Structure 1
Amino acid sequence: MQRQWWVVAGVAAVMLWFFISIEPVLMPFFVSMVLAYLSDPLADRLEARGLSRRLSVTLVFSLLSLVIILTLLLVVPILWRQLGQLIESLPVILNWFQSSVVPRIQSLTGMDLSTDIDQMRQTLVDNWKETGTVAATLLSQVSRSGLALVAWIGNIALIPVVTFYLLLDWDVIVGKIRNSLPRKWEPATVRLAGECDEVLSAFLRGQLIVMLCLGVIYAIGLSLLGVRFGLLIGMLAGLASIVPYLGVIVGISVAGVVAFFQFGDWLILLGVAAVFGFGQVVESVVLQPKLLGDKIGLHPVAVIFAVLAGGKLFGFTGVLLALPVAAMIMVVLRYLHEHYKNSTLYDDGVTSIQDKESQ
């Protein structure tokens, strides 16, 4: 038995080393796995209604492609334009902050912040000037490295192809993996896999929908108020909502500064607060209970740590995998903790002694 565990540990170590070694080429495959995992339930529902698997997958894949293409054509250009306008406005906002806010802070606290603000403003202006040449520098480097350009385009082109075939054979792959498990491990593994699927489906599907809905609510509300960069700030706040309360903190801070600088009226801050307050009410009353419930259980600190650790270890691929892996690790730790509480290591002899003392 001990030898078998050593074999399992050795195989796992070799697989981990292999994946780390080929990490640069894994990104399109991991993206495809996530897309196939998110789309499989819809394909299963269409298949249950009498459609063939191939036709179901084709319909789901076409719908997914249409959503992605429309997003790239309609939303991304607006976000990119607003991002450029926001970067251009930052030096002006910082100058206003230095001339209007800093003197009041100095009069109230006696702290001299002018030197720090000057350094911050100079650094911001220098970096802003440099950002104008980023695209040109990137294009020049790509043009000098045709092989890198071909590899990048190839990775992007692989995503729809791999996604289609993974989605087509998803149930077959899952069935073969289950049949390959050792028979004595299958019940526990299937149970853990089911719990992991509940957590992942709640997080990936539910949290993504919550983030999207909040981003839309914030973007529409800020745009109706006439706040500049409303779409950009709203969508960024929606993305930041992956960590509880981080989205509303970031969004209301940035939107408040931009709105006050734009209108020069303190009353506009009440409108900004109302937009984000409405988003929080919708999230608490409708989105969280309906889409997430209590299935995730990932602490906000664990979310932050997982994202930072994944990015540090595996780059962009690690960021993509951080939260799903953290969710699965959480399920496994709960399973081990349950076994630990039922083991003799936890209460060996203590329970019997307490029973005797009570008698």
Structure 2
Amino acid sequence: MTDSRRWLWLGSLLLLGWLVYQLHSVLSPFLVGMLLAYLGDPLVDRLERWGLSRAWGVILVFGLFGVILLALLLVALPMFGRQLLRLYELAPQMLDWLQHSALPWVQVKLGLPQGFWQLDKLKTVITSHLGQTTDIASALLTQVTASGLALLAWFGNLLLIPVVGFYLLRDWDLMVARLRGLLPRQREGFVVALVGECHEVLGAFLRGQLLVMLALGLIYAVGLMLVGLDLGLLIGLLAGLASIVPYMGFVVGFGAAVVAALFQFGGFELYPLIGVAAVFTVGQLLEGMWLTPMLVGDRIGLHPVAVIFAILAGGQLFGFTGVLLALPVAAIVMVLLRHAHDLYKLSDLYGKPVSGPDDPSSTA
């Protein structure tokens, strides 16, 4: 590649990054729609192999997505709201425990000065708002009314997601074929292989790890609710989301469940704690022996550190749009770095030095 072409590619990448930065506020519905199309394309392809047309396959897949979303709105959302309210009510007790038990222990162990924590103001604010649900709702309604234009824009973006996703999913194979037809003929095989590796990495994460997260969230939530934990659904979903990084879901969920059990059952009650431990043990065993081998397999995934850095960096640079772009970009960068590593190993720069007459190793 000549220097002029390299500068052209570099300028194109910089222009693309600038455009994404300038348009990130309107890109979110298109990126979510593209994500839905990417996730639904294998299902539509399978329905096509069974004899359905592409359009009917897309309609059935979107119908399935709609049923799942409706079930979540009708069943899970009210339960989730009640548990958030319960967490809000337990907050003063948690602050009391921190102030009178946990933080004094930390102070004694670390030799910190008296009163280094100041939780009284936070506790007063939370306690003063308990039972004032109507006042909170009125304040929220006032704020929403004051920003009605932003609310309409948010609903417009929300309604745009299924429209964009439907058309992208319907024309997905056609768009892929047209993009492949635009590739330079001499580089087509290399580019297709590179995109295939990126697809393998991204597919292993999105279609594999995200399904593992969903399954673990359901297992933890159902198990903790069967144990009798009031915040079981909330903690289970939190643990499932944290499972985007291996073992983080177990650490976060188990710690939160133990603390919630201590507050709810009043101290170190043996049976609730054993139940919490059993739920997370079963979840980890199912993940290691069944969920991950079946849903992810031995395909190459993203390193946990790469996942954390990509999400944080994307959110810092582009907000919610950056979070949506983070994992696909990280998958592509990882594949490119792997190829750059292979090229470096084959280059003269990495080659072994030639032993000369002044080389001490040559006279040894």
In structure 1, the partner of 2:115 is 115
1:352 positional shift? 11
1:87 touches 1:128 (CA, 8 Å); kept in 2?
no
1:311 positional shift? 0.6
Change (3 A) 1:272 1:327: same
Structure 2 stretches lacking a partner, 5+ long: none
Match of 2:183 among 172, 181, 189: 181
2:205 touches 2:301 (CA, 8 Å); kept in 1?
no
1:263 positional shift? 1.5
Counterparts of 1:311-350 in structure 2, within 5 Å, are: 311-347=315-351, 349-350=353-354
1:233 touches 1:251 (CA, 8 Å); kept in 2?
yes
In structure 1, the partner of 2:247 is 245
CA distance in 1, matches of 2:137, 2:3: 57
Listed one character per residue, the Cα deviations across residues 251-275 of structure 1 (whole Å, up to 9, x for unaligned) are: 1111101112212334122221111
Listed one character per residue, the Cα deviations across residues 73-110 of structure 1 (whole Å, up to 9, x for unaligned) are: 2112211220121022011122144445556666x738
Change (3 A) 1:121 1:175: farther
Q: Does 1:309 align with 2:313?
A: yes
2:28 touches 2:321 (CA, 8 Å); kept in 1?
yes
Letter in 1 for 2:233: L
Change (3 A) 1:260 1:4: same
In structure 2, the partner of 1:263 is 265
In structure 2, the partner of 1:72 is 73
Please list every run of at least 4 consecutive aligned residues from structure 1 whose deviation after the TM superposition is greater than 4 angstroms.
100-106, 110-114, 127-138, 348-354
Letter in 1 for 2:175: I
Change (3 A) 1:134 1:317: farther
CA distance in 2, matches of 1:130, 1:175: 58
Q: CA RMSD in A?
A: 2.7
TM-score w.r.t. the length of structure 1 is 0.90
In structure 2, the partner of 1:8 is 9
Letter in 2 for 1:314: F
Of 132-141 and 319-328, more deviation after overlay is shown by 132-141
Identity within the alignment, %: 52
1:128 positional shift? 7.3
1:164 positional shift? 0.3
CA distance in 1, matches of 2:324, 2:300: 17
Listed one character per residue, the Cα deviations across residues 138-193 of structure 1 (whole Å, up to 9, x for unaligned) are: 54344234432222111111001000000000011111111111222222211111
In structure 2, the partner of 1:53 is 54
Counterparts of 1:74-223 in structure 2, within 5 Å, are: 74-101=75-102, 109=109, 111=111, 115-117=115-117, 119-126=118-125, 136-223=138-225
CA distance in 1, matches of 2:87, 2:174: 49
1:137 positional shift? 4.6
Structure 1 stretches lacking a partner, 5+ long: none
